[in-house]
């Protein structure tokens, strides 16, 4: 239960509402406990009347009205209990989820590379719901239960203490049974879920590998295998059903036992004139009023345990410290950057990796220059550029901008001045205009159009019936790879960045369009720094400086002509791409 | 709205008829379930009756022994009821589980018999949902749904008849609040469902937002969008909270409301008892019994309205399942298949035209193969070379008859493959795909793919021949070593070798090999080359070749370009020709030569 203590600050925020909530619980309990008294009195009155053959009709009407009025008052209180206690739990869920997002927003790229999205999603949805669940019902029911319990028992004791003790015997077993069965059910349920997961995985594998299955005529075998898993799932379900099926009959039996005891011993007392029939009726009604609190008691313990387990998982995320963030060395007087970049003896090794992704990189890119980086997959090109906006921090060595270590520049300032086009284009399910102006605060429509024009997506957009308002993603259209890349470039250009980084961002764009884009970029990036990563010679050949990377090192550097002249890796690549072009034109 | 989110009618006669078909094998179980449920309700309904007897007879007559008998009888009834209720609860689950097991297997088998064209069109994620999730939803309808609806109706009838026989005036009086309850419940259901739907929509929005922004977190960070995204999320999150709060409001109103209506009924019963008492027809026991009936009556009525939701989701799911089961995309076997036992393996493509997407007119059709004709002799190795998208893989797909050609024909040993049963045809062909697909399981089952006719010795023999034996033995557990999903723990080269062993273990007459392009370490590379040589020996082979050695050793090189065959010949002939092959050679294979001679 200890993890739940972390929720105290959240609860404190709503302490007034919670206080009111508790008062209404008290109120509703008082008014629920009283009507059975009226019923009992009414029954006694009726009995006497029947025996005496004369009925005080108005008295019975008074009781009847009293019952209804009391229930109305109790109901009003219950209404407010739900409106306060349960509503607060939703507010806390809201706060918790906001805090969760704002925390993970600070975590660095390496965290996301090591944490599956599915896990984070599960935390954000299931775990937060479980915590919510233990907050609402977990607060409301125990309070309600304890109060109701004490009051009802008090009433019962007032009627007849011996009968109370006798009737109470089976009741602790109810709580205990709910608690224990709840645990077993939870365990069996988890087992069932696991089997469901395995069955789903098998279906997934089978359908993904359907070509192999068909090619080797393994359909029947696969069906058999799936049948086994599906049957196993059926069995797990039935085990669960067996445990679950015990729950209610057992509950009714235990409660029924209380009733039987009350009827017998209570009846004997009535016969012995120690108790009135009305008293017995009251007693029976009170007894049924105890059933729910007893069930709730066992149930709440389970909910609290599950909530605590979820809170524990959430706490682990909340306790993860961001790797990259402003620190002591940050110089907050820096509000602008110019764009000169320098790498000084920079090496980088991914967390948990043995081999370095970058080793001993030394490089200077003056402000306004264009650097092109070329090399095979896995050569370290993306890692290299990721160090500039501090998606990672270098393991050793320094990355400098305008001669200042990037760690000294406030993160916000640094990133605001960078236009980054990642290798894997990522656009949001929003309108095209929203996507393009994504990184700017006050972009006008005109700015958006300019950016789209530069990245050569403008014409495509004007072909869409809704133009810039066209929605992307699940509920909108799907762009082609090239269109996505061009939109992504527009988004970066829109920021008018001091440093523009294109990480293989033209790979899905045809060479003609590419040339058009590069031409426009050269114009607007005249006084700004550009870094272009590519596999294609055509993309890089006009850069001020080209570096060839291999295995985390810079192996060649120079201009296009120099490198072709030298006859190294670059020249070979150049040769091949010429041939390729020739073939394409056949 | 997504296909998955649409909720329609709660009852659709034609869907229901189809669904009932699945429950037919268990119809007697269903009948038993209904009988048991009614028995439970019946036993439940007599409970107040015992109280009445205790008060009116035993206590009134001051008969202590009689009271004990009544109490014990009551206990006996409770026990019996408990036992029956337990069996019934289990039985209904059993019916549901059995039924959906049958249905799930039918869906799965149906999927197995679909052609690849079907898989091109349908995202796998959606198909999995049909197999697992949609069938799961039906469970509730098949188990508790059908049985409970009947038993609730019987229960209500049972309680009603008891009430009326005991005292019809009092029965009418206590039922007089029912219209109020019905109307209240109806309003609540409607509002609660709207609220619930709103909550679902907001949850979906939260999930979409989270998913998107977790995946795109880097973009958010680099573009300094954390604050704006946070604000946007706060909005969605608040909408979700508010939808829930709205739903809390309805619940907060409903439950006390129901209690109040119950209290009104109690008040009415007491009031009427007073009015009627002088006539002498009423007893104290009757009043107490009615107070209890009053309580018992609420449950089945509330239950019935809950069933409505179950039925609604069940109808939506079953509609999706049936739509899938009605799909006709399968390649049908001929009615009178040509026997295909002794296969030599001569392959011929005769003027084959093929497109994955057929347009309305010839011009709209994106032809992948255009008038392709070639012949490969039995036992010969043919290497296909060409750029990506030239149509090489399509040729292998057609030979296995994963797709049917639009024009022309494909012959094996002179027989059109359309005249052969697909299973027979594929039994003689083994395909090694470039992207090796391994199943979770163990090494051995990945080689024989669970085929019992290929024993362990044959598996090991195949592995030895392709040179995979050595690394397999070094794995913990050897041939029984666990293979994770998609073979995650094995290297690319190892996976290749296993897929070679797989092909060899099946000992096909025709081998299709899509060579891997990805570079592997030299040692494995050599192993793979030797393995390929052994694989090709003595069978007709089609190789989509990336290795110079394979090409040089091939009896025939077929050069494809943009869906057409442009050159056919041997390595030397084609080099001398100076055409596409010559250029391809310089581009892709020349440095292999350098590496080989080095």
Residue A579 pLDDT > 90: no
Q: Is-contact A238 A195, C-beta < 8 A?
A: no
Among A480, A496, A512, residue at a domain's last position: A496
Query: Does residue A289 belong to any structural domain of this protein?
Result: no
Residue B300 pLDDT > 80: no
Average pLDDT over residues A529-551: 89
Band of pLDDT at residue A145, cut at 50, 70 and 90 = confident
Query: Does residue A264 belong to any structural domain of this protein?
Result: yes
Instruction: Count the domains in chain B.
Output: 3
Query: Which CATH number is A357's domain given?
Result: 3.40.50.300
Percent of chain A topping pLDDT 70: 98
Q: Which of B235, B244, B88 is nearest to B151 (CA)?
A: B88
In the prediction, which pLDDT does B581 show?
Answer: 87
Q: Looking at the structure, do residues B188 and B256 belong to the same domain, yes or no?
A: yes
Q: Residue-wise over A321-340: b if at least 16 C-beta within 10 A, else e?
A: eebbebeeebeeeeeebbbb
Average pLDDT over residues B9-31: 85
Query: Measured between CB atoms, does B530 come within 8 Å of chain A?
Result: no
Q: Looking at the structure, do residues A1 and A103 belong to the same domain, yes or no?
A: yes
Q: Looking at the structure, do residues B257 and B185 belong to the same domain, yes or no?
A: yes
Query: Which CATH number is B385's domain given?
Result: 3.40.50.300
Q: Is-contact B173 B272, C-beta < 8 A?
A: yes
Query: Does residue A352 belong to any structural domain of this protein?
Result: yes
Residue A554 main-chain phi, psi, to 5 deg = -90, 120
Question: Tokens in use for A518?
Answer: 């590069």
Band of pLDDT at residue B596, cut at 50, 70 and 90 = very low
Query: Does residue B417 belong to any structural domain of this protein?
Result: yes
Residue of A56, A75, A222 with shortest CB distance to B257: A75
Band of pLDDT at residue B285, cut at 50, 70 and 90 = confident
Q: Looking at the structure, do residues B35 and B158 belong to the same domain, yes or no?
A: yes
From chain B, the residues in CB contact with A268 under 8 A are 64, 67
Query: Does residue B296 belong to any structural domain of this protein?
Result: no
Q: Looking at the structure, do residues B209 and B270 belong to the same domain, yes or no?
A: yes
pLDDT tens by residue, A507-516: 888 878 888 9
Band of pLDDT at residue A57, cut at 50, 70 and 90 = low
Band of pLDDT at residue B429, cut at 50, 70 and 90 = very high
From chain B, the residues in CB contact with A320 under 8 A are none
Q: What is the DSSP string of B533-590?
A: HHHHTTSEEEEE---HHHHHH-SEEEEEETTEEEEEE-HHHHHHHTSHHHHHIIIIIH
Query: Does residue B453 belong to any structural domain of this protein?
Result: no
Residue B176 pLDDT > 80: yes
Strands B510-514, A553-558: parallel, antiparallel or unpaired by DSSP? unpaired
Q: Which span out of A158-167, A294-303, A360-369, A418-427 was modeled with the highest average pLDDT?
A: A360-369
For residues B462 and A328, give the distance between their C-alpha atoms in angstroms, rounded to a whole number. 64
Query: Which CATH number is B34's domain given?
Result: 1.20.1560.10
Residue B344 pLDDT > 80: yes
In the prediction, which pLDDT does A72 show?
Answer: 93
Higher pLDDT, A90 or A293: A90
Average pLDDT over residues B174-187: 86
Query: Does residue B336 belong to any structural domain of this protein?
Result: no
Q: How many angstroms separate the CA of residue B215 from the nearest CA in chain A?
A: 7
Band of pLDDT at residue A474, cut at 50, 70 and 90 = low
Q: Looking at the structure, do residues A142 and A165 belong to the same domain, yes or no?
A: no
Q: Looking at the structure, do residues B259 and B384 belong to the same domain, yes or no?
A: no
Q: Looking at the structure, do residues B198 and B275 belong to the same domain, yes or no?
A: yes
Band of pLDDT at residue B510, cut at 50, 70 and 90 = very high
Q: Looking at the structure, do residues A348 and A446 belong to the same domain, yes or no?
A: no
In SS3 terms, A317-364 reads as HHCCCCCCCCCCCCCCCCCCCCCCEEEEEEEECCCCCCCCCEEEEEEE
Helix (H, G, I), strand (E, B) or coil at A150: helix
Query: Measured between CB atoms, does B517 come within 8 Å of chain A?
Result: no
For residues B378 and A164, give the distance between their C-alpha atoms in angstroms, rounded to a whole number. 94
Which DSSP state fits B187? H
Instruction: Count the domains in chain A.
Output: 4
Contact A47 B238 (CB under 8 A): no
From chain B, the residues in CB contact with A426 under 8 A are 215-216, 218-219
From chain A, the residues in CB contact with B440 under 8 A are 201, 205
Average pLDDT over residues B374-403: 89
Q: Looking at the structure, do residues B188 and B149 belong to the same domain, yes or no?
A: no
Q: Is-contact A369 A545, C-beta < 8 A?
A: yes
ipTM of the modeled complex: 0.81
Contact A263 B51 (CB under 8 A): yes
Residue with tokens 């890349």: A485
| Mean pLDDT across chain A | 87
In the prediction, which pLDDT does B200 show?
Answer: 80
| Mean pLDDT across chain B | 85
Q: Looking at the structure, do residues B366 and B236 belong to the same domain, yes or no?
A: no
Q: Would you mind telling me the total number of residues written for chain A in this entry?
A: 586
Q: Looking at the structure, do residues A177 and A222 belong to the same domain, yes or no?
A: yes
DSSP alpha helix (H) spans, A335-465: 381-386, 411-416, 432-436, 445-454, 458-463
Burial bucket for residue A278 (CB in 10 Å: 0-12, 13-18, 19+): buried
Residue B10 pLDDT > 70: no
Query: Does residue B501 belong to any structural domain of this protein?
Result: no
Contact A249 B266 (CB under 8 A): no
Q: To which H or E segment does residue A3 belong?
A: none
Q: Which of B64, B120, B274 to mutate to test the interface with A (most CBs of A within 10 A)?
A: B274
Query: Measured between CB atoms, does B214 come within 8 Å of chain A?
Result: yes
pLDDT tens by residue, B42-71: 887 777 788 888 888 888 888 888 889 988
Which stretch of A425-429, B449-453, B485-489, B538-542 has the lowest confidence by average pLDDT?
A: B485-489
Q: How many angstroms separate the CA of residue A227 from the nearest CA in chain B?
A: 7
Band of pLDDT at residue B584, cut at 50, 70 and 90 = confident
Q: Looking at the structure, do residues B72 and B137 belong to the same domain, yes or no?
A: yes
Residue B375 pLDDT > 70: yes
Question: Tokens in use for B144?
Answer: 């508790």
Query: Does residue A309 belong to any structural domain of this protein?
Result: yes
Query: Does residue A279 belong to any structural domain of this protein?
Result: no
Q: Looking at the structure, do residues A191 and A155 belong to the same domain, yes or no?
A: no
- Identify the domain containing residue A309 by its residue range: 1-160+301-323
Q: Which of B284, B329, B394, B589 to mutate to test the interface with A (most CBs of A within 10 A)?
A: B284
In the prediction, which pLDDT does B593 show?
Answer: 57
Query: Does residue A463 belong to any structural domain of this protein?
Result: yes
Higher pLDDT, A546 or B133: A546
Residue with tokens 């995320």: A317
Average pLDDT over residues A424-431: 86
Query: Which CATH number is A128's domain given?
Result: 1.20.1560.10
For residues A469 and A355, give the distance between their C-alpha atoms in angstroms, rounded to a whole number. 46
Q: Looking at the structure, do residues B324 and B365 belong to the same domain, yes or no?
A: no
In the prediction, which pLDDT does A362 show?
Answer: 95
Query: Does residue A128 belong to any structural domain of this protein?
Result: yes
Query: Does residue B468 belong to any structural domain of this protein?
Result: no
Q: Looking at the structure, do residues A154 and A44 belong to the same domain, yes or no?
A: yes
Band of pLDDT at residue A120, cut at 50, 70 and 90 = confident
Which stretch of A102-116, A531-545, B275-289, B551-565 has the lowest confidence by average pLDDT?
A: B275-289
Band of pLDDT at residue B522, cut at 50, 70 and 90 = low
Q: Looking at the structure, do residues A54 and A114 belong to the same domain, yes or no?
A: yes
Contact B437 A248 (CB under 8 A): no
Q: Looking at the structure, do residues A508 and A464 belong to the same domain, yes or no?
A: no
Band of pLDDT at residue B86, cut at 50, 70 and 90 = very high
Q: Looking at the structure, do residues B552 and B408 belong to the same domain, yes or no?
A: yes
In the prediction, which pLDDT does A405 show?
Answer: 94
Strands B381-385, B556-561: parallel, antiparallel or unpaired by DSSP? parallel
From chain A, the residues in CB contact with B275 under 8 A are 57
In the prediction, which pLDDT does B598 show?
Answer: 40
pLDDT tens by residue, A3-30: 888 999 999 999 999 999 989 988 988 8
Q: Looking at the structure, do residues A8 and A121 belong to the same domain, yes or no?
A: yes
Q: Looking at the structure, do residues B233 and B378 belong to the same domain, yes or no?
A: no
Residue B2 pLDDT > 50: no
Q: To which H or E segment does residue B389 belong?
A: none
Average pLDDT over residues A287-301: 78
In the prediction, which pLDDT does A19 show?
Answer: 93
Band of pLDDT at residue B521, cut at 50, 70 and 90 = low
In the prediction, which pLDDT does B597 show?
Answer: 46
Question: Tokens in use for A582?
Answer: 């020739």
Q: Looking at the structure, do residues A490 and A504 belong to the same domain, yes or no?
A: no
- Identify the domain containing residue B132 by its residue range: 8-167+309-329
In the prediction, which pLDDT does B1 show?
Answer: 38
Query: Does residue B481 belong to any structural domain of this protein?
Result: no
DSSP alpha helix (H) spans, B354-479: 392-399, 422-427, 443-448, 456-466, 469-474
Query: Does residue B398 belong to any structural domain of this protein?
Result: yes
Among B297, B329, B361, residue at a domain's last position: B329
In the prediction, which pLDDT does A16 show?
Answer: 94
In the prediction, which pLDDT does A530 show?
Answer: 94
Which stretch of A137-146, B84-93, B453-462 has the lowest confidence by average pLDDT?
A: A137-146
Q: Looking at the structure, do residues A343 and A253 belong to the same domain, yes or no?
A: no
Residue A430 pLDDT > 60: yes
Give every strand in the sheet of A404-405, ordered side by side. A358-365, A341-348, A396-401, A404-405
Q: Looking at the structure, do residues A430 and A400 belong to the same domain, yes or no?
A: no
For residues A67 and A412, give the distance between their C-alpha atoms in angstroms, rounded to a whole number. 66
Q: Which residues pair with B273 in a beta bridge?
A: none
Helix (H, G, I), strand (E, B) or coil at A526: coil
pLDDT tens by residue, B565-580: 999 999 889 889 888 8
Query: Does residue A241 belong to any structural domain of this protein?
Result: yes
Residue B534 pLDDT > 70: yes
Residue A136 pLDDT > 50: yes
Average pLDDT over residues A455-474: 88
Average pLDDT over residues A250-273: 87
């Amino acid at each position: 239960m200890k993890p739940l203590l972390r929720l105290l600050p959240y609860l404190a925020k709503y302490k007034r509402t919670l206080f009111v909530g508790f008062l209404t619980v008290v109120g509703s309990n008082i008014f629920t406990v009283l009507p059975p008294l009226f019923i009992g009195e009414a029954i006694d009155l009726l009995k006497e009347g029947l025996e005496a053959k004369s009925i005080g009709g108005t008295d019975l009407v008074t009781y009847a009205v009293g019952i209804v009025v009391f229930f109305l008052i109790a109901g009003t209180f219950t209404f407010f209990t739900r409106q306060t206690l349960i509503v607060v739990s939703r507010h806390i869920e809201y706060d918790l989820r906001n805090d969760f997002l704002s925390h993970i927003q600070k975590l660095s790229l390496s965290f996301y590379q090591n944490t599956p999205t599915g896990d984070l999603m599960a935390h954000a949805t299931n775990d937060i719901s479980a915590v919510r669940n233990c907050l609402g019902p977990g607060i409301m029911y125990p309070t309600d239960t304890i109060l109701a319990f004490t009051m009802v028992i008090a009433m019962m004791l007032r009627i007849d203490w011996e009968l109370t003790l006798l009737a109470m015997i089976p009741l602790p077993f109810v709580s205990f049974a709910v608690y224990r069965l709840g645990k077993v059910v939870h365990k069996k349920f988890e087992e069932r879920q696991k089997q469901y997961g395995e069955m789903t995985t098998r279906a997934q594998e089978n359908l993904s590998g359907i070509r192999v299955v068909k090619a080797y005529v393994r359909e029947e075998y696969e069906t058999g295998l799936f049948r086994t898993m599906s049957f196993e799932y059926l069995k797990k379900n039935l085990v669960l059903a067996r445990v679950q099926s015990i729950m209610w009959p057992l509950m009714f039996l235990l409660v029924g036992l209380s009733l039987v005891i009350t009827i017998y011993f209570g009846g004997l007392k009535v016969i012995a004139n120690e108790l009135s029939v009305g008293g017995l009726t009251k007693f029976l009604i009170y007894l049924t009023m105890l059933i729910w609190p007893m069930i709730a008691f066992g149930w709440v313990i389970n909910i609290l345990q599950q909530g605590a387990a979820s809170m524990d998982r959430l706490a682990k995320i909340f306790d993860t410290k961001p790797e990259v963030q402003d620190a002591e060395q940050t110089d907050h007087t820096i509000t602008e950057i110019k764009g000169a970049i320098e790498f000084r003896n920079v090496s980088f090794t991914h967390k948990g990796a043995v081999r370095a992704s970058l080793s001993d990189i030394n490089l200077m890119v003056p402000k306004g220059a264009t650097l092109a980086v070329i090399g095979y997959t896995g050569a370290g090109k993306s890692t290299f550029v990721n160090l500039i906006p501090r998606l990672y921090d270098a393991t050793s060595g320094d990355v400098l901008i305008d001669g200042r270590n990037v760690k000294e520049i406030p993160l916000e300032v640094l990133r605001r001045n960078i236009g980054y086009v990642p290798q894997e284009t990522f656009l949001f399910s929003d309108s095209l205009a929203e996507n393009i102006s994504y990184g700017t605060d006050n972009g006008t429509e005109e700015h958006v159009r300019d950016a789209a024009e530069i990245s050569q997506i403008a014409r495509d957009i004007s072909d869409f019936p809704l133009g810039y308002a066209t929605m992307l993603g699940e509920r909108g259209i799907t762009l082609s790879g090239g269109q996505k890349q061009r939109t992504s470039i527009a988004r970066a250009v829109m920021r008018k960045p001091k440093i523009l980084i294109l990480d293989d961002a033209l790979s899905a764009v045809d060479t003609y369009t590419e040339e058009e884009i590069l031409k426009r970029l050269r114009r607007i990036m005249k006084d700004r720094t550009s870094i272009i990563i590519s596999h294609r010679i055509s993309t890089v050949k006009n850069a001020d400086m080209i570096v060839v990377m291999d295995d985390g090192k810079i192996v060649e550097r120079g201009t296009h002509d120099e490198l072709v002249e030298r006859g190294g890796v670059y020249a070979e690549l150049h040769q091949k791409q010429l041939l390729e072009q020739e073939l394409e034109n056949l | 709205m997504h296909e998955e989110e649409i909720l329609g009618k709660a009852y659709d006669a034609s869907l229901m008829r189809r669904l009932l078909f699945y429950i037919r094998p268990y119809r007697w179980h269903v009948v038993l379930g209904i009988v048991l449920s009614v028995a439970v309700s019946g036993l439940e309904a007599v409970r107040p009756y015992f109280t009445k007897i205790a008060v009116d007879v035993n206590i009134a007559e001051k008969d202590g022994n009689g009271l004990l008998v009544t109490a014990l009888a009551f206990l006996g009834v409770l026990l019996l009821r408990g036992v029956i209720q337990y069996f019934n609860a289990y039985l209904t689950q059993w019916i549901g589980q059995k039924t959906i097991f049958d249905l799930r297997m039918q869906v799965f088998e149906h999927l197995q018999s679909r052609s690849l064209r079907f898989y091109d069109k349908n995202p796998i994620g959606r198909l999995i949902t049909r197999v697992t999730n949609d069938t799961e939803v039906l469970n509730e309808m098949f188990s508790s749904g059908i049985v409970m609806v009947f038993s609730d109706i019987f229960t209500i009838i049972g309680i009603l008849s008891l009430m009326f026989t005991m005292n019809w005036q009092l029965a009418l009086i206590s039922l007089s609040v029912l219209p109020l309850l019905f109307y209240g419940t109806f309003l609540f259901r409607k509002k609660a469902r709207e609220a619930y739907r709103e909550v679902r929509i907001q949850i979906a929005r939260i999930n979409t937002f989270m998913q998107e922004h977790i995946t795109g977190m880097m973009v958010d960070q680099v573009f300094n969008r954390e604050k704006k995204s946070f604000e946007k999320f706060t909005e969605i999150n608040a909408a979700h909270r508010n939808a829930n709060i709205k739903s809390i409001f309805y619940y907060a109103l409903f439950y006390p409301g129901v209690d109040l209506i119950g209290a009104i009924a109690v008040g009415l019963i007491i009031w009427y008892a007073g009015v009627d008492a002088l006539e002498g027809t009423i007893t104290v026991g009757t009043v107490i019994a009615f107070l209890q009936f009053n309580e018992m009556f609420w449950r089945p009525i509330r239950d019935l309205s809950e069933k409505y939701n179950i039925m609604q989701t069940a109808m939506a799911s079953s509609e999706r399942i049936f739509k899938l089961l009605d799909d006709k995309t399968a390649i049908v076997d001929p009615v009178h298949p040509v026997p295909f036992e002794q296969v030599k393996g001569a392959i011929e493509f005769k003027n084959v035209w093929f497109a994955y997407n057929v347009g309305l007119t010839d011009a709209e059709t994106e032809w992948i193969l255009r008038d392709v004709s070639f012949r490969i002799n039995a036992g010969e190795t043919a290497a296909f070379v060409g750029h990506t998208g030239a149509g090489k893989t399509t040729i292998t797909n057609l030979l296995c008859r994963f797709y049917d050609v639009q024009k022309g024909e494909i012959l094996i040993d002179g027989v059109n493959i359309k005249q052969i049963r697909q299973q027979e045809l594929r039994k003689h062909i083994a395909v090694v795909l470039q992207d090796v697909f391994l199943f979770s399981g163990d090494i051995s089952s990945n080689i024989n793919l669970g085929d019992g006719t290929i024993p362990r010795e044959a598996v090991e023999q195949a592995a030895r021949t392709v040179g995979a034996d050595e690394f397999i033995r070094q794995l913990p557990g050897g041939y029984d070593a666990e293979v994770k999903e998609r073979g995650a723990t094995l290297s690319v080269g190892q996976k290749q070798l296993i897929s070679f062993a797989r092909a060899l273990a099946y000992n096909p007459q025709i081998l299709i090999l899509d060579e891997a392009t990805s570079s592997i370490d030299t040692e494995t590379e050599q192993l793979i080359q030797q393995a390929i040589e052994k694989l090709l020996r003595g069978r007709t082979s089609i190789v989509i070749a990336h290795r110079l050695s394979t090409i040089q050793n091939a009896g025939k090189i077929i050069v494809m370009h943009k869906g057409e065959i442009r050159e056919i010949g041997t390595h030397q002939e084609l080099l001398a020709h100076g055409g596409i092959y010559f250029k391809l050679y310089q581009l892709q294979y020349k440095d292999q030569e350098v590496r080989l001679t080095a």
